[in-house]
Copies of this chain bind each other. A is one copy, B any other.
Amino acid sequence: MTDIVVIGGSAAGMGAAGAAKQVDHDARITVFTELQDVAYSPCGIPYVHGKEIDSFDRLILQGKQFYEDQGFEIHYETVVSSINLAAHTVTVPGMPDVHFDRLVIATGFQYEKPDIPGTELEGLYYVRDIRAAERWDKVLDDVKVAVVAEAQPLGVEMATALAHRGIETHFVDPHPWAMAEIADPDIMAPVEESWRELGVHIHFNTRIEEFLGTERVRAVKTSDGEIAVDAVVMGTKKLPNNRLAADAGIKRGSTGGIIVDQHMQTSASGVFAAGDAVEVPQGTTGVPVQGLSGSHAYAQGKVAGSGAAGTLRSYQPVYVPWGLVGGKWMIGGVSFGETLAGALGIPFVLGVAEGISRARYYPDYKKIRVKLLAEPGTLKLIGAQLVGGEGIKERCDFLAMAARQGLTLHDIAWMENVYSPAMGALNEPMALAAQDGLAKAGQ
């Protein structure tokens, strides 16, 4: 019987455990998680705080019994303190060493902690697990004013959620617009306008210098003055949480993520890794990227778990369709936007169009702005950014597949599309953007 140990009980870890069981039903699969639950959706937490979802219970996808019935051994609230590669064991304080034939590291992410005074104060909320979120949700009942510190993706979701909840929300970020490293300013402009409509106080181009208070935070000192607060939501960058792997000497890459091959195998024999703790190659450039979506983590977990159970599968380079809701808009993209491509020195032809999601005479049709980036010469799609009222996720999925398949602006410009007034417009916005790109490329 094969001993498979999985460290981590989120999307990657549970994906790995499930896939391993599918490949080798007799394997002994042991999962360690620091949390009280597995199989819940942490991604839903902002929406409960924002009162769009009425209870944290709804985020629980499976009960504990389900996993017991499936034959998994899950250790909740259990910290793995080290990995011993030579002995093929993991150390868990208070337990005998746990043997593994194969190990899956799915230790996820941690938020970047700003290197400024006051980060030890109470009242700084790092959104992560559902039990903490339940406690924090009660705290938020008494919060009148909050700062969301940094406009990374979670910050974007939480600023929107706190505003929905009626909290006076101050959104502070050192960059000139939200998600400035990922998203283009014209994509974020309607989102920012929508936050203002929701009453969010925007403090961009503003650094946080100190959290002020004695035991509990009472104000945030910024480069532009102090903001008195009842709480701070930390919306900082997600970093790979890989101290265990690092201590064991497992190789990490330029992003800080664990290096894996196409089978999600690390530099250590028999050790796989998946999810936010790893880095994987972006498809167009081969550049390693890290910190993708829960869907990526889950898919990587399945490849890692399958391999750990003896059937090596391959995980393909990624084109990273992403999306989220900010204010009343949906935003999203694929691989590179204009800003990121510019920063990386990747040349591109840009096609832009404003289209609509349904016939313009149909009630509640929504605007959609599409930007497509293509490689000069070949005109192969290398990136996209979108903002709109609906249909953003589906178009990002389309464009990620288009980039993966090496489709060009020609292919997209003359694509077929459904036309029916209540469902879609005569002219597909992605096709219009591609036609614009062709015109700019002189074709």
Contacts and interface: CB of A to CB of B under 8 A. Distances in A.
B44 A295 contact: no
Given A401-B398, A423-B330, A423-B392, A322 B43 contact: no
B52 A418 contact: no
Contacts of A411: 401, 405
Interface in A39-64: 41, 43-44, 47, 52-53, 58-59, 61
A239 interface: no
A318 interface: yes
A397 B421 contact: no
Contacts of A393: 391, 417-418, 420, 423-424
Interface string A293-331: 111101100000000000000001011111111000010
Interface string A259-285: 000000000000000000000000000
Interface string A16-50: 00000000000000000000000001011001000
A420 B41 contact: no
Contact of A415 (B47, B397, B422, B424): B397
Interface string A374-418: 000000000000000011111111101110110100010011111
A291 to B, nearest CB: 13
A58 B361 contact: yes
Contacts of A325: 420, 422-423
A272 to B, nearest CB: 17
A226 B394 CA distance: 46
Nearest to A60: B361
A55 to B, nearest CB: 9
A61 B361 CA distance: 9
A396 B3 CA distance: 44
A359 interface: yes
Nearest to A299: B414
A80 to B, nearest CB: 25
A426 B294 contact: yes
Given A362-B53, A392-B423, A398-B401, A416 B319 contact: yes
Contacts of A426: 11, 41, 294-295, 298
A407 B295 CA distance: 21
A184 to B, nearest CB: 17
Contacts of A338: none
Q: How large is the interface on A (under 10, 10 to 19, 20 to 34, 35 or more residues)?
A: 35 or more
A432 B47 CA distance: 26
Contacts of A286: none
Interface in A413-443: 414-424, 426-428
Contact of A295 (B58, B293, B419): B419
A96 interface: no
Contacts of A363: 52-53
A278 to B, nearest CB: 15
A293 B418 contact: yes
A47 B365 CA distance: 14
Contacts of A395: 394
A47 B416 contact: no
A330 B422 CA distance: 9
Contact of A420 (B323, B362, B405): B323
A87 B357 CA distance: 46
Given A324-B420, A324-B422, 17 more contacts: A41-B426, A47-B362, A47-B421, A295-B416, A295-B428, A299-B414, A322-B418, A322-B420, A323-B418, A332-B418, A392-B423, A393-B424, A394-B395, A397-B417, A398-B398, A398-B401, A401-B407
10 contacts: A11-B426, A44-B421, A47-B421, A47-B422, A295-B426, A299-B414, A332-B423, A397-B418, A397-B424, A405-B405
Enumerate the 3 nearest inter-chain pairs by beta-carbon distance, A residue then B residue, closest first.
Answer: A394-B394, A295-B419, A393-B424
